Amino acid sequence: MKNSTELNEVSVLTDKETLEEVVDCLVQHISINTKGAFNQTDLFNILVRAASQTDTIENTASTLKQVPGGNNIRYHLSKINSFEQLETELNLALADQIPRGIKKTYLKLAIDFNLIPYYGNPSDEELPYIYRSKAKNGTCSFYAYATLYAIKKNKRVTLAIRGVRWYDTKVAIITYLLASLINLNFKGKIKKLYLDREFFSIAVIRWLKALDIPFIMPAIRRGKKGGIKQFLKGKKSYKTTYTMGSEEDNSVTFNLWIVCKYQKGKRGKYGVEYFAYVVYKVSTSLTYIHQDYRKRFGIETSYRLKNLCRIRTTTKKPTLRLLFVGISFLLVNIWINILWRKISRPRRGGRLIFRKIFNLKQMLEFLRQAVDRIYQVREAIYLPSD
């Protein structure tokens, strides 16, 4: 009998094929005008190499032999000026990498905010894309990106991304992201929508109830007393209802589920820890809802993966920020798609995916070494002749 750990002699994927798949997707969907011998493929190869190492464009250019300098690369990237066009192109690229069959099932969806700290005084170009939120990492200003995910078999596939503008309301962001399902020819139904705590507001809850979409979102505790805090008591989990807002035309009543968890010395804390959730038409139990909500933050399906392949930069140009963030989400989508198509076998009850032999870090290493082979890595340093 063949050993279960023995591998076939014929490969199903090479580093060259992986790079071609990534760059072909970028070239097909994202337009950047280049001139001379330095073409779009070269530019995207360099960007992918930088992303695979979470490196800067400048350091990547200085590492490789046969590539232009950092200034030349930035010159070509500076031609990307339309934030809206780039956003549309990135969403088309993300949609192109959604695994087959995911559009036809009852799906669990999640909408999250990804905040990148911003420091300094924004220019007129930057100001429309600066989002204000609770202080984090020494600032209240952020570049914000809202994303729509499909959660399937403990994998999060990014369906759409929205670079948040200063004038965007939470309702507008949700509407924009959910509208992308139409462009994706989404044939299934929304089984459950998980929302980030940033969306906790009267307007959002009223809007989702009007759309009749089952959803769960954490309730934010504001103020010293009253509000949500008045329900954080006792030693048993329970359900109740709460009316938020005092004016009749600007209030909403919703189901509020209070979950009690005993900390038992975790992080040096003891006693009861409370979690409050707004729940609408979700078929789950009170004892399971906290675990259910937290499953959307699984290690292999969280923003940690995106952060493994985000190009480092100090630029404050919103379009370039969006491009670099979009590429990181796209690389994760491509990795998941490759797993489903090539690093798996069909079987009864669902495909068997061999994630351990091709994790995201392995794919990023494939991309790095394939690019290094094309342009060669510098092997020596020379001082100026003068």
Model pLDDT for residues 266-296, shown as the tens digit of each residue: 777 778 889 999 999 998 899 899 988 887 7
- What are the DSSP calls for 63-109, one per residue? HBSSS--HHHHHHHHTT---HHHHHHHHHHHHHHTPPTTTTSS-EEE
The domains located in the chain, with CATH, are: 1-79+344-386 (no CATH), 84-221+277-304 (3.30.420)
Q: Look at strands 215-218 and 272-280 and give their pairing.
A: antiparallel
**What does the alpha-carbon distance between residue 1 and residue 342 come to, in Å, rounded to a whole number?**
24
Q: Over 90: is that where the pLDDT of 143 sits?
A: yes
Q: Where are the beta strands (DSSP E) in the chain?
A: 107-117, 130-136, 139-152, 155-163, 190-195, 215-218, 238-244, 252-262, 272-280, 344-345, 352-353
Residue entry with tokens 């992201």 = 177
Residue whose structure tokens are 């082979």: 373
Q: How many CB atoms lie within 10 A of CB 304?
A: 12
53-104 pLDDT, tens digit each: 999 999 999 999 988 888 889 988 988 989 999 999 999 999 999 887 676 6
Residues 100-126 have a mean pLDDT of 84
Name the amino acid, one letter, at 271.
Answer: G
Six-digit token string for 104: 């036809």
Report the predicted TM-score, pTM, of the whole model to 2 decimal places. Answer: 0.89
Q: What is the dihedral of CA 128, 129, 130, 131, to 10 degrees?
A: 110
